[in-house]
Structure 1
Amino acid sequence: MTPRPSQPRGAASLVARRAGIDTYQAPVVYMRADCPVCRAEGFQSQARVELSLGDRTLIATVHHVLADWLRHGEAGLSEAAWRMLHPAEGESLSVRHPPVLDSQRHIRAKVYGVPLAYPQLLAIMRDVAGNRLSDLHLASFVTACAGDRMSAAETVALTRAMIDVGERLRWPSHPVVDKHCVGGLPGNRTTPLVVAIATACGATMPKTSSRAITSPAGTADAMETLAPVDLALPAMRRVVEREGGCVVWGGAVQLSPADDVLIRVERPLELDGTAQMVASVLSKKASAGSERVLIDIPVGPTAKVRSRAAADALTAALVEVGTAVGLQLRVVQTDGAEPVGRGIGPALEAWDVLAVLQRLPAAPADLRARALLLAGHVLEIAGLAADGQGSAMARDALDSGRAWVKFQAICRAQGGMREPPRALYTADCVARAAGVVTGVDNRRIAMAAKLAGAPAARAAGVTMEVKLGQRVERGQPLFRLHAQSAGELAYAEAYVAGQQDLVTIGPGP
């Protein structure tokens, strides 16, 4: 939404009505197909129209209504459109054709393979952040940039454009550190642990995290089962000033806002191209005021990054773009052969985090080890530990209980700590033969968790009951499905039954 100095000339007028329809972040206006305004102006279904109320203006997508719940002279607004315009019920809106956007021309050029420079990408990102582009245009842009269709120069320009259309934070303490995992590995909820350990040791770590794009849970999804994450910028500042760090949803603080809109389109397309991933990650880090950033790249046959060669190429791209936007990066490549921890899904991953922080006997050893490794690197780039000594400092913070105390303090500062939910329905998926676990398909395990309801159903997902190299007997549980409804559990069970070797069992010794 963008402000306008006055009401547009020659605009038609319709009465605002709250339709009560959730279209997520996409503003939609519902108009009768036989509405005189629609007919006179040629507003077809899926057309884009400009709505104005006082100095508030937005561009919305038209959906035609054939039923009588909407009366002549009314414009039904989706929840997203209603939030953006803030009308009173029955207030008069001005409706007109939207201005022609240069960004649409730039998107068409990219579809045909024309390289885009910073001015063109900035125009696109401004219109993306301002919700002036339809989902069709957004999907076209995301698809045109996927794969290897963006050069290194374009990726740098895209990153800068994404930074420049949002706010950029400044912090009084230096250096400001951050950590990010490129994803593709189920579980692996190390970020809350790293933030707790690093801030307990004195680091400044204002962590903004994303929600799931193609995975069963993002860091923000898991953290939300423990504490509020939808903090506005002033609240985020207060938490960091008080505790040294936070774990909040980046979309709530409007850092790199164009990225949050693009993520909404990437999620159903299940596209997370290299250039957009690099721009997404680094624009968020730069916008949050980070100066030194650790990037974790899990590598494995069914991870997002499947080979060392691909990891090396991604590392080079991250370092090149990071340097161009003023970030100091340290990139580590880690084992991505199997899920990390037991839980896959927001609440299940949160329970793992709590077990590690509380040093419970059943805490996942692999999650603990990975968190200590990454926290050690963060402490080193923060200048709090000498190279090679960070892991020992991190271990002391965790084993002494200081990290657990700090995590509770961060949760209280963000609005209060809470207990993650438990699923109502579970089902075990068992070994069909005795043997040794020789493989785990990360992607299909993640799909089973999503079909069970994650991340929308916070308690849903999968818990892994075995690890690579473990001996199992016939009928022994390999993983457990968790769901909030019987229907979602049955859906996930049907998927698992139709698959072969989500967990591969080989002959034992």
Structure 2
Amino acid sequence: MRSAGLSRRSHAGVRPPAILNARRLGIDTDREHVAYLRSDCALCRSEGFGTRARIELRCGARCLVATLNVVDPALLGEGEIGLSDAAWAALGALPGQPVQLAHPAPLHSFAAVRAKIAGDRLDAAAAAGIVDDICAGRYADIELAAFITACAGKRMNLAESIALTRAMTAAGQQLRWDSPVVVDKHCVGGLPGNRTTLLVVPIVAACGLLIPKTSSRAITSPAGSADVMETLAPVTLDLARMKAVVGREGGCIVWGGSVALSPADDLLIRVERPLGIDSEGLLVASVLSKKIAAGSTHVLIDIPVGPTAKVRSRRAAAALAARLKGVGEACGLAVVALASDGAQPVGRGIGPALEARDVLAVLQGHPAAPDDLRQRALRLAGIVLEMGGKAGAGQGLALAASVLASGVAWTRFQAICAAQGGMRTPPQARCTGVLGAPHGGRIAAIDNGRLARLAMLAGAPGAPAAGIDLHVRLGDEVAAAQPLLTVHAESAGELAYALAYAQSQAQLVTIGRHAPS
């Protein structure tokens, strides 16, 4: 029998397919596809499969490439292959269903990544090949990390940004609207609490412009616009539902990952988040590919500038603005880039539910609503209205202010929430703790990065109710022990951990001492 088997393989010229039975192990690997084989599995020896190897899995008509982990034999039965939750869902497997294993095709596009690491430039063909393989799931997380790092800092020029933007746009679905003008706005980030999108969209939509807003989840921050909106309404809409919402209300605020407008970007963001890298070259391609794919014709980009913001100087802001405009022009998108004040957080809340609370206060016209958030959003909305032709030069701010003050924007926001699946009440954290001023004086500096880290240590954005309430602004006079901020957390342990960090950071909120009289 053995000799006959060898003869059959030799005659066919290929090995017979390796087949094991699927088993869901209930392991959450985010969206990374991971497979598990017993260490004594004959396939590991015969096929040369080892830990971190890439293997191709086929189940019925579905196929994917997964990263292999080798486990103790006690964790799997003989003849079984374990699958992470992401791999199980992607394969559409059933318990015990046969899964065919094979070596994946060579990853030819990674040669361009190696060349980029060595100092070469990405041309259009290389960018397209990399993006296509990323979208097909052929890149392991370590390979994605290598690509992200190769593009970080100042390692990408304008031509590379254009090539990558076009490749990322072409890889996903692209929307077309029955309107000559479709507007959008985006903030490059780095400024906690800057949740103007949830105010700009209803104001602009109420004035008759189309604004199909696809927003990101947090990458290196305690909240993205999608995270904040999700505490108020569903954001995971498919393309048909998104188009229906925009057709009915003129705008939406949905998670971009659910509509696959730039699928490579969502996979890159998943790896950028733990790396803490958000490079300029990838940022431009990420932002503009989604705007172009969403069918936008005009987009406003907010670039906060401050000593502890993502963009630290006016010079750096000007360089980023030039790249955004250059890539936009090459791709047929009109871009206006605005350098704004990034010296301190916007509003009071930092974290999804706390930022949503601030947004609702502004929309509802509460007297105690944070005025800096209100004024910032009105300025941005005014510029968008002028870009879209709904207001003359210099008249957009007044129009935006009237729409907000009249309650029309609040009415439109409620309608958008209803169309997306129903309005929700933001959650409240179970535990809170206060950080007091160590001494009296004037608030001299507030560190955006440290505050963002504090909110994340408290649990944001994974715990939507977690975060910070900031009670002071630059220039405020405070007395000793006066509350500077309140930390919100879901557990006493997280609260204690976050407060310990806050108490160890003298530069979190810097208080200048009064000169002795």
Structure 2-normalised TM-score?
0.96
* Residue 373 in structure 1 maps to residue 379 in structure 2: yes
- Identify which of 81, 85, 89 aligns with 2:91: 85
- Identify which of 10, 13, 19 aligns with 2:19: 13
What one-letter code is carried by the residue in structure 1 that aligns with 2:393? D
* Residue 205 in structure 1 maps to residue 211 in structure 2: yes
In structure 2, C-alpha distance between the alignment counterparts of 1:353 and 1:332, rounded to whole Å: 21
In structure 2, C-alpha distance between the alignment counterparts of 1:167 and 1:9, rounded to whole Å: 38
- Identify which of 491, 501, 511 aligns with 1:495: 501
Which residue of 2 is the match for residue 449 of structure 1? 455
* Residue 357 in structure 1 maps to residue 360 in structure 2: no
- Identify which of 342, 345, 348 aligns with 1:336: 342
- Identify which of 236, 252, 270 aligns with 1:264: 270
Which residue of 2 is the match for residue 412 of structure 1? 418
Which residue of 1 is the match for residue 5 of structure 2? none
Which residue of 1 is the match for residue 120 of structure 2? 114
Which residue of 2 is the match for residue 168 of structure 1? 174
Cα pair 1:174 1:204 within 8 Å, conserved: no
* Residue 347 in structure 1 maps to residue 323 in structure 2: no
In structure 1, C-alpha distance between the alignment counterparts of 2:113 and 2:66, rounded to whole Å: 19
Cα pair 2:39 2:73 within 8 Å, conserved: no
Cα pair 1:167 1:287 within 8 Å, conserved: yes
* Residue 477 in structure 1 maps to residue 490 in structure 2: no
* Residue 301 in structure 1 maps to residue 322 in structure 2: no
Cα pair 1:30 1:62 within 8 Å, conserved: yes
Cα drift, residue 9 of structure 1:
7.0
Secondary structure class of the residue paired with 2:75? coil
Specify the structure having the higher radius of gyration (Cα).
2
Gaps of 5+ in 1: 1-7
In structure 2, C-alpha distance between the alignment counterparts of 1:64 and 1:288, rounded to whole Å: 42
* Residue 387 in structure 1 maps to residue 387 in structure 2: no
In structure 2, C-alpha distance between the alignment counterparts of 1:232 and 1:369, rounded to whole Å: 33
* Residue 180 in structure 1 maps to residue 161 in structure 2: no
In structure 2, C-alpha distance between the alignment counterparts of 1:322 and 1:504, rounded to whole Å: 40
Pairs within 5 Å for 1:37-436: 37-436=43-442
In structure 2, C-alpha distance between the alignment counterparts of 1:349 and 1:269, rounded to whole Å: 25
What one-letter code is carried by the residue in structure 2 that aligns with 1:230? T
In structure 1, C-alpha distance between the alignment counterparts of 2:106 and 2:215, rounded to whole Å: 34
> How many residue pairs align between the two structures?
502
In structure 2, C-alpha distance between the alignment counterparts of 1:67 and 1:111, rounded to whole Å: 39
Task: Give CA deviations for 1:329-349 in whole Å, capped at 9, x if unaligned.
Answer: 111111000000000000000
Cα drift, residue 108 of structure 1:
1.3
Which residue of 2 is the match for residue 3 of structure 1? none
Cα pair 1:122 1:158 within 8 Å, conserved: yes
Q: Return closer, same or farther for 1:10/1:325 CA change in 2, 3 Å cut-off.
A: farther
Cα pair 2:40 2:73 within 8 Å, conserved: no
Cα drift, residue 67 of structure 1:
4.4
In structure 1, C-alpha distance between the alignment counterparts of 2:190 and 2:442, rounded to whole Å: 24
Identity of aligned residues (%): 59
Secondary structure class of the residue paired with 1:102? coil
In structure 2, C-alpha distance between the alignment counterparts of 1:206 and 1:77, rounded to whole Å: 36
* Residue 440 in structure 1 maps to residue 446 in structure 2: yes
Cα drift, residue 373 of structure 1:
0.3
Task: Give CA deviations for 1:333-373 in whole Å, capped at 9, x if unaligned.
Answer: 11000000000000000000000000011100000000000
In structure 2, C-alpha distance between the alignment counterparts of 1:41 and 1:71, rounded to whole Å: 19
Task: Give CA deviations for 1:252-308 in whole Å, capped at 9, x if unaligned.
Answer: 000110000000010000001110000100001001111100000000000000100
Cα pair 1:471 1:508 within 8 Å, conserved: no
In structure 1, C-alpha distance between the alignment counterparts of 2:16 and 2:270, rounded to whole Å: 34
Secondary structure class of the residue paired with 1:84? helix
What one-letter code is carried by the residue in structure 1 that aligns with 2:443? V
What one-letter code is carried by the residue in structure 2 that aligns with 1:15? N
Cα drift, residue 50 of structure 1:
0.2
Task: Give CA deviations for 1:58-97 in whole Å, capped at 9, x if unaligned.
Answer: 0000011104131111111111111111011111011000
Secondary structure class of the residue paired with 2:422? coil
In structure 2, C-alpha distance between the alignment counterparts of 1:248 and 1:9, rounded to whole Å: 47
Gaps of 5+ in 2: 1-13
Of the structure 1 ranges 98-107 and 366-375, higher mean CA displacement relative to structure 2 is found in: 98-107
Secondary structure class of the residue paired with 2:109? helix
What one-letter code is carried by the residue in structure 2 that aligns with 1:143? T
Secondary structure class of the residue paired with 2:253? strand
Task: Give CA deviations for 1:224-246 in whole Å, capped at 9, x if unaligned.
Answer: 00000000101101100000000
In structure 2, C-alpha distance between the alignment counterparts of 1:259 and 1:69, rounded to whole Å: 35
In structure 1, C-alpha distance between the alignment counterparts of 2:422 and 2:95, rounded to whole Å: 35
What is the RMSD of the two structures over their aligned residues, measured on CA atoms?
1.0
Structure 1-normalised TM-score?
0.97
Secondary structure class of the residue paired with 2:463? coil
Moved over 3 A (4+): none
Cα pair 1:220 1:248 within 8 Å, conserved: yes
In structure 1, C-alpha distance between the alignment counterparts of 2:114 and 2:325, rounded to whole Å: 30
Cα drift, residue 402 of structure 1:
0.1
